[in-house]
Structure 1
Amino acid sequence: MRVKLPHFQDKVSVVLSDDTDEELNNLPLESTNTKSTTEDEKFSLALNYNQDKSKDRLMNYRLGISGGDIFARAKHKRRFDISEKQSFLFEPSLYYYLNDGLGAKLLLEYDYQLSKKSQFRINYSIRGSAEFSGIRWKHGFYKLKQINDTTASVLSLQAEGERNGARGFVVDQYTLGYRYRFNALRDWLYFEIEPFLEFPEQENYKVTPGIALRIEGYFNKG
């Protein structure tokens, strides 16, 4: 949930989320809850400030609490149009968690518009932190499709791992998924069904099937 503060010309807002917005290891199109867990859900509350915001540029600052840890983050977004069908996103960020220390992340994205309703996307991120040794990396390959005005799908293949750590270069997991999203019952109500296959290193890359179901409400004051 995001609440804008109008006296600051929509530059400042208060953000309350289920902590997915602060999950630094996730890619933009990644589903965050496909892995089963017995841990308590984490929440974050933050003061968000946007500077130099435009169609292809954004400087963002955030200060708040996430998972019981106080954090500060600065993130820069810059999008470049290569042609009518191609674009490139450059997004470096610097963050500091009181318990985990200083860290940095770089996200790169390449988009190719296959048609008016279909797009191919590649995401790549690397992340380093005082919290761990080595560098965490993640690749994502996506085929986005708008089926109609109320329905869309995302076919995805992701790989993640570590390099320059104690074990050198290693792939932790591959994930293949298909997300089907549709609007039903109310204009603001969205449903998602996502079957997926995981191939984790800890299981010798044996296939682990699963399915994620989500309901999302989207409210926007026009």
Structure 2
Amino acid sequence: MLCVAVTLCHLLSPSSTLLNSQPVTAIQSPQDSVDDSAWFDVWQRSFTDSIDFTVRQFDGMFSQENGPHRNKQAKAEGRIQLSWEPRSRDLAETDLRFRIRVSLPHLEDRVDLLLSDNEDETQSDTLKAARNDSLGRRDNTTIALRFRPEQNSHYSYRIGAGRRDQLYVKSRYRDAMEFNAHWAMLYDAELYYYTRDRLGAELGAAIQHVAENNNVTRLNNRFYFRDDSNDWLWRHELQHLYPIDTHNALMYRLMVEGLDRPQYKVEEVYTGLRWRSNPLREWLYFDVEPFVLWRRDEGFKPSYGMAFRIEAYYGKAH
């Protein structure tokens, strides 16, 4: 299956898929010389065990005594990210991000439970100050059940709650087209309905190039339709990933975002260079990202900053 996500997280996280696995593999090998009894190993194992115990209790509600999956146990995977993102207009900006995905084997592994701090997966690694809140997506915990007709289906359906405590239903199609060993196109479409925001839709397409030296260049394009205001929010983003060695990589990003009404106009511009490293464990990452941000509500005056992040993966994600 060529289905891959169009998110920055999938370029840099250890859960990357086939199309971008080569450059990511270069930064996720563990160092065997580190003492296995370190406190962060104990914390990671304890946290994973606690989450797994909880989801097994939930999955047990659907178990059958003689069912085909009676010997399988539910497990969770996800990440936690803590950031300090000071910039020239806000030195105290902090951010806590999390995402949990639970597979339920007693429901044929076709139903997942999703819990996240933000429903927009395409901005999972975006600077907090650069996340547009026009759709009411900012700092909104989302919980949903995701259903797929088949385990490898390109279609998925969700029902849940999020975006300022609204109930919603969502349908998504996601796929990819591989032209050759170096070029691929990733695309997806979503249609959803919120109880207060009403109908909405998203369209996304990305062109990706993987060079012989494992450098990855990707051009992302995304459009959001808002029924309550009858307009489109658009975003164009250029990413370039450069693996340095087995534990370090650089990612350059240039993003432009705006609206189409009352006229096609730019709302913000962002550029940054992220250094990502995992010197201690394959599941523990450190990021440093100098950046410049221009926003319309700040008169497009440049805001200079430096983001510092710690990100931990647990479950299958590591």
Secondary structure of the equivalent of 1:93? strand
* Residue of structure 2 in register with 1:188 after alignment: 283
The 1:51/1:197 distance shift into structure 2, 3 A limit, reads: farther
Residue 161 of structure 2, aligned match among 27, 40, 65: 65
Residue 13 of structure 1, aligned match among 86, 102, 112: 112
User: Quick check: which has more Rg, 1 or 2?
Assistant: 2
Secondary structure of the equivalent of 1:185? strand
Q: 1:59 is aligned with what amino acid?
A: Y
Give the TM-score normalised by the residue count of structure 2: 0.61
Q: Does the aligned pair in 1 maintain the 2:130–2:270 contact within 8 Å?
A: no
1:104 Cα deviation (Å)?
0.6
Distance in 2 (alpha carbons) for counterparts of 1:59 and 1:208: 40
Distance in 1 (alpha carbons) for counterparts of 2:139 and 2:242: 31
The 1:42/1:27 distance shift into structure 2, 3 A limit, reads: closer
Residue 42 of structure 1, aligned match among 119, 128, 140: 140
Secondary structure of the equivalent of 1:7? helix
User: 1:3-61, CA deviations, whole angstroms, 9 ceiling, x for partnerless residues?
Assistant: 11012232211111112xx13xx745751524499xx942111112234454xx62121
Residue 205 of structure 2, aligned match among 101, 104, 108: 108
Distance in 1 (alpha carbons) for counterparts of 2:159 and 2:240: 34
1:102 Cα deviation (Å)?
0.5
- Determine which structure has greater relative contact order: mean sequence separation of CA pairs < 8 Å that are 6+ residues apart, divided by chain length: 2
Residue 204 of structure 1, aligned match among 299, 303, 309: 299
Give the gaps of 5 or more residues in structure 1.
none
Q: 1:200 is aligned with what amino acid?
A: R
Distance in 1 (alpha carbons) for counterparts of 2:143 and 2:293: 31
Q: Does the aligned pair in 2 maintain the 1:34–1:212 contact within 8 Å?
A: no
Q: 1:45 is aligned with what amino acid?
A: I
Aligned residues: 213
* Residue of structure 1 in register with 2:257 after alignment: 160
Q: 1:49 is aligned with what amino acid?
A: F
Higher mean alpha-carbon deviation, 149-158 vs 135-144, is at: 149-158
The 1:79/1:94 distance shift into structure 2, 3 A limit, reads: same
- Tell me which stretches of 4 or more aligned residues in structure 1 moved more than 4 Å: none
Distance in 2 (alpha carbons) for counterparts of 1:35 and 1:81: 31
Q: 2:248 is aligned with what amino acid?
A: T
Q: What is the alpha-carbon root mean square deviation over aligned residues? A: 2.5
* Residue of structure 1 in register with 2:222 after alignment: 125
Secondary structure of the equivalent of 2:297? helix
Give the TM-score normalised by the residue count of structure 1: 0.86
Distance in 2 (alpha carbons) for counterparts of 1:34 and 1:69: 24
More strand by share: 1
**Does structure 1 residue 220 correspond to structure 2 residue 315?**
yes
